[in-house]
Amino acid sequence: MKVSCIKENLAKGLGIVGRSVGTKVTLPVLSNILLKTEKGGLKLSATDLEIGIHTWIGAKVDADGAITIPSKILLDYVNTNSDKKITMELKEANLHLESDHFKANIKGIDAAEFPTIPEVKKKTGIDIVAVDFLRAVGKTLIAVALDESRPVLSGIYFSIHGDILKMAATDSYRLAEQELKLSKKIEEDISFIVPQRTMAEILRLLSDAGDKITIFPGENQVEFSLGETVLVSRLIEGAFPDYQQIIPGKLTTKMTVVKSEITSAIKMASLFARESANNIKLKVEAPSKISVIASSPHLGDNVSEVSGVVTGEKIEIAFNAKFILDILAVEDSEKIILEFSGGLSPAMLRGEKHADYFYIIMPLRIED
């Protein structure tokens, strides 16, 4: 193998695959990145046996070949290198790197020892506008359960029916659902659960995905095609809970507020709610009275008044401040709508301009 490529492109490609390199591994080769000439360019691959990722970069190929190189030293060497172009040549089990001012030899492991990243049978491809998918992932990922005591809750649930894709996540305390309209109708109903870590990686990669991404669901794996990068992940086995039953039915109170104002009020209240598990209280009364309250036996108390529009019944309800702040951080509407159906019933939050999304929060019991 002998290839030459622009240092900036090589650094970008290594950065894309580098986060999927195994850290605590029993097989040394899992700490390596596979470099292989393919399609007239250079293919970079990494896997931790849960996620596998490939990306292709442009390169001048003088001789074909493949080798795996330890990720950390290769990344550090390329990122530290200030030259414009780097030439890499395989000499037995060593990769010789040379540029205008630097030369190095890095010991590798034979490419034959690198695990095969599964290929998903491309039966059905689901095309999604990249910017829409970016928003959908960001707004559902916040509700995924971080512990794996119930594995089916530790990922994002995808459900496709016709030309509608629904993405949902819940940790039992909150629920997020985003609906996306697909460009074409899918003939069969499809559902699967993608692990949280995979979706976090997808979120990171989406900025360079181009105009669209394509998802290929398989029996045990799913493939995401994002421009020059392909990510393959295992799927979570099991049935996602029927969350439709917790969606509030009759909503009796509605408040509309400016996002920046309610965010400031909740952040202020959370300063005083640290000792009470982030417990804050909302007092809402028509036509415009909204108070955000928090108290602590040691720190003191706080009341913030927020202007807004309120219709329906007066209500007093408590929430975990973090759960509200999480959605406010990713919601891009200028105004937020919060709807309630009683002080002990789930509340529904959404951005004013996004009717295709909702976020449900379970209330906390108010202590007298």
pLDDT at residue 232, as a whole number: 97
Q: What confidence tens digit (pLDDT) does each residue in 133-156 have?
A: 999 999 999 999 998 889 999 999
pLDDT at residue 323, as a whole number: 96
pLDDT band with cut points at 50, 70 and 90 for residue 254: very high
> Which residues lie across from 180 on neighbouring strands?
165
Q: Is the pLDDT of residue 367 over 70?
A: no
Q: Is the pLDDT of residue 283 over 80?
A: yes
Min mean pLDDT across 76-90, 119-133, 153-167 is at 119-133
The per-residue pLDDT of the chain, averaged, comes to: 94
- Write down the pTM of the prediction: 0.93
Structure tokens at 135: 């928003």
Residue 32, phi then psi, degrees to nearest 5: -105, 160
pLDDT at residue 210, as a whole number: 78
Overall average pLDDT of the 75-103 stretch: 96
pLDDT band with cut points at 50, 70 and 90 for residue 360: very high
Contacts of 143 (CB under 8 A, 6+ apart): 169, 170, 171, 174, 175, 176, 326, 359
pLDDT at residue 310, as a whole number: 97
Q: Is the pLDDT of residue 97 over 60?
A: yes
Q: Is the pLDDT of residue 249 over 60?
A: yes
pLDDT at residue 368, as a whole number: 53
Which string of DSSP letters, residue by residue, matches 285-322? ETTTEEEEEEEETTTEEEEEEE-EEEEES-EEEEEEHH
pLDDT at residue 11, as a whole number: 97
Go through the domains of the chain in sequence order and give each one's CATH number.
Answer: 2-113 (3.10.150.10), 126-244 (3.10.150.10), 248-361 (3.10.150.10)
- Report the first-to-last Cα separation within the chain, whole angstroms: 73
Q: How many CA atoms lie within 13 A of 32 on its CB side?
A: 23
Min mean pLDDT across 21-35, 175-189, 214-228 is at 21-35
